[in-house]
């Protein structure tokens, strides 16, 4: 029996309770979690913005140590440190055949399975495949990747979502070039990773935008050269900081219609706007036909940073070892399992960066 944070129903509070895990079957791995990040996507799953089968154990950004492996698993062994990959690619669907593994049609099929039971026998689903809000978990073998050398196990949890997403948004989706100006909307965990990635890419002016003035120091430590408290004049202020033109690249890490529109308006003529934030289907963003022609901007979505975790983790590790990427700087609070509900409340209030559950 291990402790886990269970979502009993959509919109219900999390319950910290004991769950029973099976031994790993063929093609499965059992892991003792070292740490799990509390991501805004977990909040979106709990409140129904994104749908998952319930009851479920949420948590998709994690790292830990392999306890046991099932038949046929050869790429990891007991004692290995691993990063959880919540969106493993199948390698055979249409998206995978195009090399767009982040759009794999079968990436979340495991989330519909039953992977554990509660003390009273209630069947549980594994959130986004990996159920990281628990002391231990059992996952499919393709959901684990070895922790690269030189990355502390606890910090490695952040590689599983926030860093892959933020780094990928800059390097794969927006393709930021040296000297370009970048504006980042939202200074949570993903936003902080995005700011660091923009700095690594050699961006010139890096503007961070958030509703909270208290986040300025966090943003500047991550690489922001300018900080704006979000307002109706944000786009005008960004233009003022970028020679009157607007930013070459805007990256939205919030997932709200108003901030997506503000990111678009902050981008120069011919610039690129990348949306990372996950919004609800009721968040409608509108454009008129003339402005699309006139501004010549590109608006694109970004799933999981358009990343291939197997290829990108070694690159990120190299940045960590060289001191260019500071994983610890993304974390503003280290909590226990029962601190997750409070971390959800802080995200709703726009407070802090990444809360990290440390087991």
- Is residue 166 within a helix (H) or strand (E), and if so which, with residue range? helix 162-168
User: What's the pLDDT at 52?
Assistant: 86
Domains, in order of start, for the chain: 2-160+326-358 (3.90.180.10), 165-303 (3.40.50.720)
Whether the CB-CB separation of 159 and 288 falls below 8 Å is answered with no
Q: Read out DSSP for 248-302?
A: EEEEE-S--HHHHHHHHHHEEEEEEEEE-S---TT------HHHHHHH--EEEE-
Q: Read out DSSP for 314-332?
A: HHHHHHHHTTS--GGGGEE
Closest to 268 (Cα-Cα) out of 226, 298, 229: 298
Under 8 Å CB-to-CB from 99, ≥6 apart: which residues?
none
Whether the CB-CB separation of 277 and 300 falls below 8 Å is answered with no
How many Å apart are CA 152 and CA 322, to the nearest integer?
14
How many Å apart are CA 267 and CA 120, to the nearest integer?
54
Pull the structure tokens for residue 11.
């919109």
Write down the pTM of the prediction: 0.95
Percent of the chain as helix, strand, coil, to the nearest 5: 35, 25, 40
User: What's the pLDDT at 349?
Assistant: 86
Closest to 209 (Cα-Cα) out of 236, 228, 189, 182: 228
Under 8 Å CB-to-CB from 291, ≥6 apart: which residues?
none
Under 8 Å CB-to-CB from 111, ≥6 apart: which residues?
52, 53, 56, 125, 126, 127, 128, 129
How many Å apart are CA 252 and CA 262, to the nearest integer?
9
**End-to-end Cα separation, the chain, in angstroms:** 15
- Is residue 30 within a helix (H) or strand (E), and if so which, with residue range? strand 28-38
User: What's the pLDDT at 51?
Assistant: 84
pLDDT tens string, the chain, 359 residues long: the values are 999 999 999 999 999 999 999 999 999 999 999 999 999 899 889 988 888 899 999 999 999 999 999 999 999 999 999 999 999 999 999 999 999 999 999 999 999 999 999 999 999 999 999 999 999 999 999 999 999 999 999 999 999 999 999 999 999 999 999 999 999 999 999 999 999 999 999 999 999 999 999 999 999 999 999 999 999 999 999 999 999 999 999 999 999 999 999 999 999 999 999 999 998 889 999 999 999 999 999 999 999 999 999 999 999 999 999 999 999 999 999 999 999 999 999 988 888 889 999 99
């Amino acid at each position: 029996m291990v402790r886990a944070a269970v979502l009993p129903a959509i919109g219900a509070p999390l319950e910290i309770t004991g769950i029973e895990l099976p031994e790993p079957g063929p093609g499965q791995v059992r892991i003792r979690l070292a740490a799990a990040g509390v991501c805004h996507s977990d909040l979106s799953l709990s409140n129904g913005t994104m749908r998952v089968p319930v009851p479920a154990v949420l948590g998709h950004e994690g790292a830990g140590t392999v306890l046991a492996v099932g038949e046929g698993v050869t790429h990891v062994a007991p004692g290995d440190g691993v990063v959880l990959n919540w969106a493993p690619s199948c390698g055979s669907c249409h998206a995978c055949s195009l090399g767009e593994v982040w759009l794999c049609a079968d990436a979340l099929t495991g989330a519909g399975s039953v992977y554990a039971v509660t003390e009273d026998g209630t069947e549980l689903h594994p959130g986004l495949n990996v159920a990281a809000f628990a002391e231990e978990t059992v996952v499919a073998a393709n959901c684990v990747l070895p922790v690269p050398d030189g990355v502390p196990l606890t910090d490695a949890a952040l590689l599983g979502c926030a860093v892959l997403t933020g780094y990928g948004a800059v390097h794969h989706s927006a393709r930021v070039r040296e000297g370009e100006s970048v504006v980042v909307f939202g200074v949570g965990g993903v936003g902080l990773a995005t700011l660091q990635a923009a700095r690594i890419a050699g961006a010139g002016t890096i503007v961070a935008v958030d509703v909270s003035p208290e986040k300025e120091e966090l943003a500047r430590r991550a690489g922001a050269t300018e900080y704006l408290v979000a307002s109706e004049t944000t786009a005008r202020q960004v233009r003022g900081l970028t020679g009157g033109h607007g930013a070459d690249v805007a990256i939205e890490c919030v997932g709200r219609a108003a901030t997506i529109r503000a990111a678009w308006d902050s981008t120069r003529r011919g610039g690129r706007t990348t949306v990372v934030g996950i919004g609800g289907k009721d968040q409608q963003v509108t454009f008129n036909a003339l402005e699309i022609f006139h501004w010549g901007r590109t608006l694109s979505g970004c799933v999981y940073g358009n990343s291939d975790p197997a290829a990108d983790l070694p690159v990120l590790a190299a940045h960590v070892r060289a001191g260019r990427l500071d994983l610890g700087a993304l974390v503003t609070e280290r909590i226990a399992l029962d601190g997750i509900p409070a971390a959800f409340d802080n995200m709703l209030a726009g407070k802090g960066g990444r809360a990290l559950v440390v087991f």
